[in-house]
Amino acid sequence: MIRGLWDRETVALILLAALLPMALAWLWLDAGDAAGRLLFALAVTGVWHLVFMFARAQPPSLSFALSALAVAILAPEGLGPVQMILGISFGTVMGELAFGGWGRNVVAPATVTLAFLGFGFPAAPWPDLVPPLAWAAIPAAAIGIVTGVMPGGVIAGAVLAGAVAVAAGIAPAPLVHAGAVVLVLLVADPVASAATTLGRWLNGLLYAGLLLIFAQGWTGAAPVQMAVAAALLASLAAPLFDEAAIAFWIARRRTRHGGP
Amino acid sequence: MLGLATRAGLSPRFPSPPEPGGEAAETITEEAAVTPPPGPSLRVDVLAEEGAAVAAGAPVARLRDAPEVVFTASMPAIVGNVRLGRGRRLTEIVLFRETAGDRFEQPEALRSAADPRPLMLAAGAWPLLRRRPFGGMPDPGEGPAAIVVMAADTRPFAPDPRQAIEGREEAFARGLHALSALTEGPVFVCTSPGKPLVEKGNGAVRQITGGPRHPQGLAGIRIHDLCPARIDAPVWDIHAEDVAAIGHLVETGMMPATRLVRLAGAALREGRLVRTQPGADLRGLSHGATRPGGHVLLSGSPLDGHPAHWLGARDRQVTVLPREEKPGPRHWFVEALTGTARAAPAIPTEALRQAFGGGMPGVALIRALSAGDDETAIRLGVLSLLEEDVALADYALGGAHLPELLRRVLSRIEAEMAP
């Protein structure tokens, strides 16, 4: 009869609005064919959503624009259209649509796409993210946290670990820039990250921790590559963190109230 | 206390015209009905013939399976239509008001605060109690693990329970005393911030102060936090005004004639705060206050109310909404874009976390409910919850069928595990 507005599509729209500062900064700064890459990624992702709508009666989601944007910003450069179509199709179908659409997936489809492109075409160079783009991640995260569509705990955990690393002098600037952009675009997806407060903090800490470990030991990798790998592993660990947080919550309740 | 932070929750806003201030007017409608409390349907023996005159507080029906439990008339009346479903299940007993009628007084011998159970059963006060798990009225012989008295109500437009019991502190204290005789466990009085309602050192009675936002003033959220209900340890809840009514009953042998009820909603010309009888006719209450055009009368709040003709057994709110036109057929493409067999998944947002009061893993609970994972749902505390407790989350998510999913899980647990 009367309905609130936090349904799936509204959340997707607010997330899109939160990412607008980054999208605009990226379109403004990129000398190449940023708009072309974005349109291409939108088209391929959108086609797969339509295919699943017609074939499986699975309603499409505006979240396809979120993953297309992340892929367009972070994908390795110099890949041909066939390679891009392969990567985006794999990520969209196997990462999201096969699970039942946005909200039922485990890993963000953009993360799967980028990991696939990174593993499949290791010769392609990863993009260098310019500092203004990383600065644009700050308002994006702020809008996301204030409207409550981005998990505040994940971002806080990652920023905390990052601040410690910067203070200790083990995080070079390019790594911080890539880490911030990937944090907002991939890790802070409300679906692919942990859903409990404790789980979210652990999720954010793990992402930043993995990124730092890669920075110390993974020679020859680009900062964006490290960040995408850290994002993939962190979202794979998110259900585990949730399970642990809920087990802890139940144990605490049991000591307080007794009972089975 | 772990769990509920005082600021947690949401304050959903709904359109409603302002109230013309002043004292709550006493409005007794010409018709009223005896209706069963929400929960499993109840088989009854009707004690008053159609057309018979009954005094206020006189018994009109009793349960077949537990004849101690009696339903009483809320005003002196002529019994009108008695509507029973199949198997003599109570639907409604309509009463027409009789101004000259008198009041039925419970015998002096029953009026004992040390053992109020027979008095509450005989005076029709038993349906004011609600048990968890599974909801509904408790069995007459049941002993709860705890009783939660709700002296706070954060539902949108809910009348303030503090105002309802203002000037009746003595009756409230007497009612609390009587309630504490019903349980071996504690009696929690949940209030909004303000002056204390319970004197310090009052035995098993403890006052718990909660925040101002919904759902902190809901019994289920409180029970989930304070004393989770289990199948072998039921927890009862009751409204503070009803506790004062029980105090009044113990003192005088009669239930009070009225309760504080608020009318609100977008289809009203002016809001109303009235004192009216239980089971009042909703059309009588809203008469002269509605805007022109079709409207729907809900017994309950905009979040958890349901269309009704009579004020529900425990309800203290009436919501009047404009009637919505049935939407026409949509284009097949729009239908394909939005319509599905399965509801769209809930995205974990801050709004959803706050809709559960911030203290419980709401996303995990929703996933367990939609997947039908009863064991996980029990571990997450679903036995303390009823439909009204997930109504806010359902509203926030734009309609995710959470109350229906919750009822399905509860019914299955009841069928499989309850003795």
DSSP B18: P
**Mean pLDDT in order along chain B per 10 residues (419 residues):** 62 88 86 90 90 90 92 92 91 90 82 86 92 91 92 92 90 91 91 83 82 89 92 94 93 90 92 92 91 91 92 92 83 73 80 87 91 92 92 88 92 88
Chain A residues in contact with chain B using a Cβ-Cβ cutoff of 8 Å: 1-12, 53-54, 57-60, 100-104, 147-149, 151-152, 190-191, 195-197, 242, 245-246, 249-250, 252-253, 256-257, 259-260
**Are B364 and A196 within 8 A, CB to CB?**
yes
Chain B residues in contact with chain A using a Cβ-Cβ cutoff of 8 Å: 2, 12, 14, 227-228, 230, 233, 296, 302, 321, 324, 336-342, 344-353, 361, 363-364, 379-381, 395-400
pLDDT surpasses 70 at A259: no
Residues whose CB falls within 8 Å of the CB of residue B419, separated by 6 or more in sequence, listed in order = B231
Question: CA nearest A194 in B: which residue?
Answer: B348
In B144-183, which ranges are continuous DSSP H helix?
A: 161-164, 169-180
**Are A2 and B395 within 8 A, CB to CB?**
yes
DSSP B49: -
A1 neighbourhood in chain B, CB within 8 Å:
296, 302, 321, 324
**Are A3 and B233 within 8 A, CB to CB?**
no
| Among the listed residues A245, A260, A155, A146, the one whose alpha carbon sits nearest the alpha carbon of residue A208 | A155
How confident is the model at residue B2, as a pLDDT?
38
> What percentage of chain A exceeds 90 in pLDDT?
76
| CATH number given to B107-253 | 3.40.50
Give how far Cα B382 sits from Cα of A101, B220, B221, B408, Å: 27, 9, 10, 12
- To the nearest whole angstrom, how far is the Cα of B217 from the nearest Cα of chain A? 20
- To the nearest whole angstrom, how far is the Cα of A68 from the nearest Cα of chain B? 19
The model's pLDDT over A84-112, given as tens digits with 9 standing for 90+, comes to 999 999 999 999 999 988 989 999 999 99
Residues whose CB falls within 8 Å of the CB of residue A43, separated by 6 or more in sequence, listed in order = none
- To the nearest whole angstrom, how far is the Cα of B196 from the nearest Cα of chain A? 25
Q: Would residue B188 be called left, alpha or beta, if left means φ above 0 and alpha means ψ between -120 and 50 degrees?
A: beta
Strands B77-84 vs B53-54: parallel, antiparallel or unpaired: antiparallel
Residue where the block lists tokens 């593993």: A119
How confident is the model at residue B333, as a pLDDT?
74
CA within 13 Å, CB half, B294:
4
Structure tokens at B364: 């995990």
Question: CA nearest B223 in A: which residue?
Answer: A257
The model's pLDDT over A130-168, given as tens digits with 9 standing for 90+, comes to 899 999 999 999 999 999 999 999 999 999 999 999 999
In this complex, the residue of A3, A60, A100 whose CB is nearest that of residue B399 is: A3
In this complex, the residue of A6, A104, A242 whose CB is nearest that of residue B349 is: A6
**Are B398 and A4 within 8 A, CB to CB?**
yes
**Are B341 and A57 within 8 A, CB to CB?**
yes
DSSP B347-392: P--HHHHHHTTTSS-HHHHHHHHHHT-HHHHHHTTGGG--HHHHHH
H and E: helices and strands count for chain B: 12, 18
**Are B361 and A249 within 8 A, CB to CB?**
yes
**Are A196 and B361 within 8 A, CB to CB?**
yes
**Are A3 and B395 within 8 A, CB to CB?**
yes
**Are A250 and B380 within 8 A, CB to CB?**
yes
Query: What is the distance between the alpha carbons of residues B84 and B43, in angstroms, rounded to a whole number?
Result: 9
How confident is the model at residue B340, as a pLDDT?
65
One-letter amino acid identity for B410?
L
- The CATH classification of domain B30-104, taken from the options 1.20.1070.10, 3.40.50.2300, 3.40.1350.10, 2.40.50.100: 2.40.50.100
Structure tokens at B109: 């011998």
In this complex, the residue of B340, B379, B397 whose CB is nearest that of residue A250 is: B379
**Are B347 and A259 within 8 A, CB to CB?**
no
Query: What is the distance between the alpha carbons of residues B333 and B258, in angstroms, rounded to a whole number?
Result: 53
- B208 forms bridges with which residues in the sheet? B190
Burial call B268-297: b when 16+ CB within 10 Å, e when fewer:
beebbbbbbbbbbbbebbbeebbeeeebbb
In this complex, the residue of B324, B348, B380 whose CB is nearest that of residue A190 is: B348
DSSP A147: T
**Are A6 and B352 within 8 A, CB to CB?**
yes
The model's pLDDT over B141-160, given as tens digits with 9 standing for 90+, comes to 899 999 999 999 999 999 99
Burial call A52-71: b when 16+ CB within 10 Å, e when fewer:
bbeeeebbbbbbbbbbbbbb
Residues whose CB falls within 8 Å of the CB of residue A129, separated by 6 or more in sequence, listed in order = A174, A177, A178, A181, A223, A224
- To the nearest whole angstrom, how far is the Cα of B363 from the nearest Cα of chain A? 7
**Are B336 and A5 within 8 A, CB to CB?**
no
Strands B130-132 vs B259-264: parallel, antiparallel or unpaired: unpaired
Q: In chain B, where are the structural domains located?
A: 1-28+261-324, 30-104, 107-253, 347-417
Q: Are B354 and B8 in contact (CB under 8 A)?
A: yes
Structure tokens at A220: 């020859």
Residues whose CB falls within 8 Å of the CB of residue A134, separated by 6 or more in sequence, listed in order = A176, A177, A178, A180, A181
Please state the pTM of the whole predicted model: 0.91
Q: In chain A, where are the structural domains located?
A: 8-120, 131-257
**Are B349 and A11 within 8 A, CB to CB?**
yes
Give how far Cα A91 sits from Cα of A81, A165, A191, Å: 15, 31, 15
DSSP B126: G
How confident is the model at residue B1, as a pLDDT?
37
Query: What is the distance between the alpha carbons of residues B387 and B405, in angstroms, rounded to a whole number?
Result: 9
Cα angle, residue B293 at apex, residues B290 and B297 outer, rounded to 5°: 55
Q: Are A114 and A71 in contact (CB under 8 A)?
A: yes
The model's pLDDT over B249-300, given as tens digits with 9 standing for 90+, comes to 999 988 898 999 999 999 999 998 999 999 999 999 998 889 998 899 999 9
A12 neighbourhood in chain B, CB within 8 Å:
347
In this complex, the residue of B339, B347, B381 whose CB is nearest that of residue A11 is: B347
Task: Give the burial class of A173: count Cβ atoms within 10 A of its Cβ; 0-12 exposed, 13-18 middle, 19 or more buried.
Answer: exposed
One-letter amino acid identity for B237?
D
**Are A57 and B344 within 8 A, CB to CB?**
no
Query: What is the distance between the alpha carbons of residues B409 and A250, in angstroms, rounded to a whole number?
Result: 20
Question: CA nearest B379 in A: which residue?
Answer: A250
Higher pLDDT, A115 or B326: A115
Q: Are B220 and B388 in contact (CB under 8 A)?
A: yes
In this complex, the residue of B2, B351, B364 whose CB is nearest that of residue A6 is: B351
Residues whose CB falls within 8 Å of the CB of residue A33, separated by 6 or more in sequence, listed in order = none
**Are B340 and A249 within 8 A, CB to CB?**
no
Structure tokens at A134: 């990383």
Question: CA nearest B396 in A: which residue?
Answer: A4
Query: What is the distance between the alpha carbons of residues B382 and B368, in angstroms, rounded to a whole number?
Result: 10
Query: What is the distance between the alpha carbons of residues A73 and A63, in angstroms, rounded to a whole number?
Result: 16
CA within 13 Å, CB half, B196:
10
DSSP A41-110: HHHHHHHHHHHHHHHH-----THHHHHHHHHHHHSPTT--HHHHHHHHHHHHHHHTGGGTSTTS-SS-HH
Task: Give the burial class of B205: count Cβ atoms within 10 A of its Cβ; 0-12 exposed, 13-18 middle, 19 or more buried.
Answer: buried
How many CB pairs lie under 8 A apart between chains A and B?
A: 106
Q: Is the ipTM of this complex over 0.95?
A: no
Query: What is the distance between the alpha carbons of residues B176 and B225, in angstroms, rounded to a whole number?
Result: 21
